[in-house]
Homo-oligomer: A and B are copies of this chain.
């Protein structure tokens, strides 16, 4: 963290105003790293061809979050010390006494606190009030005047994809499977933020909701991952007790991974992380046990990355069934959250219907007669008695007498049905991933008897692709270096900075510390013949090439081929 602060990567936000726990800035170097990780993530999914990106508001009205379950269930338990009134997350207090404390109920947490005489971290007494659930959403009100509407900062980006499902479905002309992604801020009003970047109050999320027809066999090609062994920790309830290494197809065939689309997204997520520089040995998948998983989920895997905080959940990949669309359908009566499934063969059925008798309905309901006729035609079952109440599409209810309808036998052809798609959701915590990419790339080595740091970042996420250094800021070397910087900046998407302060060794070291893959040096020979030296961060080898070749190879990403 001290390196990250010193080199302008990431630092506690608002520090000149005293700081706020759980809020961080990405600085002049970290800002571009964050953008590049976001961009790589986007391209990874958008290049599948049946996935689109949306962008929805972070301010979310209460009715949405009541339907999604966040108002009732987005809680942590908090315990208050009866002696000093300090408040802590209950699961943090008991974590040395239980393997998975955030799955515990309030009474279970209280029992562990009491049985083990857990001491208050503030005053060392052990006298706890009963734990209480605390909602973790940031509340606000929409409308600057009285009578505003209760709202919250979104706890996840996922609701945006569920609520725009009608447009996504229309965009793909109802052809499942399809998905939508969203990259943006999520908010969680932590009781006591800790672990720096790992547990923030405002964080960068990236989520994908992939909509599938549960009755269609998911077809995924897993040959790409043949020969790759994944680190898996399956739910012990499945019979497999320990961490294991296994191919993705094998895990699916043995029903350890319970759905092919879940397996597909696990493997694709692995690929994404390797592409941005994660160490495959420091990635594992841990399956949720049934008491850990939301009741509606049928399979759920955490991708964990190993770093200075141990194994940390960085991605969750969950099969959420039709829970989310179903919850919004129930709350809103919207008819737009379904997909159409055509039957292989149309079904012909005979059924009895209560058909409207126009001569009675007309005079009885006048302007509403059309609505009554329509509502009768949409009844699924015959009325069990008369009179009965009939709900019309204008929201009113009318009473239907026996003489208003005629029971008829009709034949109907049913070509298909509307159903709630199922959802597989990979949800990424980008700040945690960035933390681990930095951790995995960090190599403390030695140079001339002193510690020397190299940050091995892939070109795809390095904050700058290249630094331009004049050997000295004199004899025209600085002007040439400035000109090379300007020329290279014209290349699309290439980040280039100029560094002229202090010795050339110090400047190489500064570039290595922030992971710049290539350093261009302008020296006396450059002034004579226009060539520059190129130094590769990872092995510090230098070669000399012309400025034209430099631009060409940088643009094509082929500088490495010269070595």
Contact = CB atoms under 8 A, between A and B. Distances in A.
Interface of A: 8, 11, 13-18, 20, 22-32, 34-35, 39, 42-43, 46-49, 52-61, 63-64, 67, 76, 78, 87, 134-136, 138-146, 149, 151, 153, 160, 163-164, 166-168, 170-173, 180, 182, 184-185, 187, 189-191, 201-202, 204, 328, 331-332, 334, 336-337, 485-486, 489-490, 492-493, 495-499, 501
A210 to B, nearest CB: 14
Contacts of A498: 49
Contact of A8 (B78, B167, B486, B493): B167
A332 B331 CA distance: 48
Contacts of A497: 49
Given A59-B138, A144-B78, A54 B67 contact: no
A17 to B, nearest CB: 5
Given A49-B489, A49-B498, A59-B23, A337 B28 contact: no
The list of the 6 closest CB pairs from A to B, nearest first, reads A28-B52, A31-B53, A28-B171, A26-B55, A16-B334, A31-B54
With most chain B CB atoms within 10 A of its CB, the pick from A11, A29, A31, A166 is A31
Contacts of A35: 42, 53, 55
A187 B172 CA distance: 32
A95 B103 CA distance: 58
A202 B166 CA distance: 22
A355 B43 CA distance: 65
A25, A34, A42, A168 — most chain B CB neighbours (10 Å): A25
Which of A13, A151, A498 has the largest count of B CB atoms less than 10 A from its CB? A13
A171 to B, nearest CB: 4
B54 A26 contact: yes
Contact of A31 (B30, B55, B64): B55
B138 A17 contact: no
A480 to B, nearest CB: 15
B34 A492 contact: no
Contacts of A49: 485-486, 489, 496-498
Contact of A164 (B27, B60, B337): B27
Contacts of A136: 144
Given A11-B167, A59-B201, A64-B14, A43 B144 contact: no
B20 A61 contact: yes
30 contacts: A8-B167, A11-B167, A13-B56, A16-B332, A16-B336, A17-B67, A18-B332, A20-B61, A23-B57, A25-B160, A27-B168, A28-B53, A28-B164, A31-B53, A31-B54, A32-B46, A34-B55, A35-B42, A46-B495, A47-B490, A49-B485, A59-B138, A59-B187, A59-B201, A135-B144, A138-B141, A141-B189, A144-B190, A153-B153, A173-B501
Contacts of A145: 78, 87, 134, 191
Contacts of A64: 14, 17
Contacts of A22: 142
A134 B63 CA distance: 26
B138 A171 contact: no
B78 A54 contact: no
A13 B53 contact: no
A347 B226 CA distance: 73
A14 B61 contact: yes
